[in-house]
């Protein structure tokens, strides 16, 4: 029983490999563009390939029973077709609403039995504030009242691993909007990061231009796109749920817990 992890050296895929091993999975195949740099655990089969280049994928799909699909909309049609032809019996995919809705719809329409995970903001995204917190203990924020329930990438990987390790038909065809344990304004998220790293973090409300300028040092051209997403979500608060606990048996990590675990990034 081979489990294929695409994007296996990415932020979620690499964590997923570790969680699968913790759950006792033995036959794990990791798809990566650069095996030499993968640094994957002993016993994991490493295959060279990239979802963006379907011609590199036939060997990766050979004999695969279950798989994790990292999102790559540009080649999604080809990937789903290959998964169907290879006889993949179950797939866990990262997707969601908004810009990912077309991705979600295509997976839902495929012949591969699947479960989709639709997280909102990743807690890990808040490293975009690290330079500001390190330098001034203050975050410039244009939309401090926007409400989110951010989830750590490690929790996303835990959920995917739990689903893949022991497939349960009650989850087949489902799209789970997994979240962190709390709904917080962005101002409260900054405060919780401060509590986690042991300093007071203030939020200075500013205009869009100032916020974009502050983020460009870490996000470059994507700063404008990121702020656009906040504007789009301002009227749709993300409320926390208990899906992570229900699907894995242990609760999701809070912003404060995540910040404490990653305090060195903000020090």
Kindly report, residue by residue over 122-154, the tens digit of the pLDDT: 999 999 999 999 999 999 999 999 999 999 999
Q: Does a structural domain hold residue 175?
A: no
Q: What is the pLDDT of residues 77-130, one digit of tens each?
A: 999 999 999 999 999 999 876 667 888 999 999 999 999 999 989 999 999 999
pLDDT (0 to 100) of residue 38 = 73
Q: What percent of the chain has pLDDT over 70?
A: 99
Q: Does a structural domain hold residue 164?
A: no
Helix (H) or strand (E) holding 5: strand 2-5
Residue 112 and residue 81 share a domain: yes
- CA distances (Å), 111 to each of 17, 42, 91, 101, in order? 25, 33, 11, 18
Distance CA 197, CA 142 (A): 23
Residue 192 and residue 130 share a domain: yes
β-pairing, 45-48 vs 28-32, is parallel
Residue 257 and residue 139 share a domain: yes
Q: What is the pLDDT of residues 183-214, one digit of tens each?
A: 999 999 999 999 999 999 999 999 999 999 99
Residue 151, token pair as written in the block: 């989830």
Residue 214 and residue 128 share a domain: yes
Residue 259 and residue 141 share a domain: yes
Q: Which domain holds residue 46?
A: 2-118
């Amino acid at each position: 029983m081979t489990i294929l992890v695409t994007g296996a050296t990415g932020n979620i895929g690499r964590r997923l490999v570790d969680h699968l091993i913790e759950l006792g999975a033995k036959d794990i195949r990791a798809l990566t563009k650069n095996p030499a740099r993968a640094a994957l655990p002993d016993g994991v089969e490493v295959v060279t390939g990239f979802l963006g280049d379907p011609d590199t994928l036939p060997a990766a799909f050979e004999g695969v029973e279950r798989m994790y699909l990292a999102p790559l909309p540009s080649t999604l049609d080809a990937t789903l077709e290959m998964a169907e032809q290879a006889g993949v019996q179950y797939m866990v995919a990262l997707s969601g609403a908004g810009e990912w809705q077309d991705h979600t719809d295509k997976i839902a329409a495929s012949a591969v039995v699947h479960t989709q995970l639709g997280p909102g903001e990743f807690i890990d995204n808040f490293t975009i504030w690290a330079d500001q917190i390190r330098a001034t203990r203050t975050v410039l924020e244009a939309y401090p009242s926007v409400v989110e329930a951010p989830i750590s990438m490690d929790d996303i990987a835990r959920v995917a691993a739990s689903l893949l390790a022991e497939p349960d038909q009650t989850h087949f065809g489902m799209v789970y909007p997994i979240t962190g344990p709390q709904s917080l304004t962005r101002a409260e998220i900054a405060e919780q990061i401060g509590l986690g790293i042991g300093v007071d973090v203030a939020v200075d409300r500013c205009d869009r231009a100032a916020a974009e300028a502050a983020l460009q040092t870490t996000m470059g051209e994507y700063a404008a796109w990121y702020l656009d997403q906040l504007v789009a979500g301002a009227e749709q608060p993300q409320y926390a749920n208990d899906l992570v606990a229900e699907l894995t048996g242990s609760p999701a990590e809070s912003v404060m817990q995540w910040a404490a675990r990653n305090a060195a990034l903000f020090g």
